[in-house]
Amino acid sequence: MPLLKDKIECATSPDGNSKCWYLNGDPHREDGPAYENTNGDKEWWINGELHREDGPAIERPNGHKEWFEHGLQVNPNIIRKDSICNKTNCKEYSIITKHICSNCKYELEMLIDE
């Protein structure tokens, strides 16, 4: 079955074990994983690139997880995002990492200079 341009379509494997959503022939889904397998594998894709901003882009049933943004693997302890600095209300691209204060155990977001 040919894929239609600019329309998201779901294809199921012949054995029925997996589903993949496509946009213009590339794996793509914005409201969940673009690839799902009955064994529990899940992968989040946007425009043919592994991508997920709110969690791992690859999840395996054995607990293995991998984080990707725009096709590039990223460190899950460093969250890259456009953010508003709470102190200055400036809008800048920042690298933010989670840090637990050793004194009071409060979780802090710390800006890191690139």
Query: How deeply is 69 buried, as exposed, middle or buried, from its count of CB atoms within 10 A (0-12, 13-18, 19+)?
Result: middle
User: 8 vs 5, which has greater pLDDT?
Assistant: 8
Residue 5 has a pLDDT of 59
Residue 38 has a pLDDT of 95
22-39, pLDDT tens digit by residue?
A: 999 899 999 999 999 999
DSSP conformation class of 48? T
DSSP string, 76-91: TTEEEEEEE-TTT--E
d(CA 84, CA 82): 7
% of the chain with per-residue pLDDT over 90: 43
Section 64-91 average pLDDT: 65
Residue 106 has a pLDDT of 45
**DSSP-assigned beta bridge partners for residue 83:** 92
Query: How deeply is 97 buried, as exposed, middle or buried, from its count of CB atoms within 10 A (0-12, 13-18, 19+)?
Result: middle
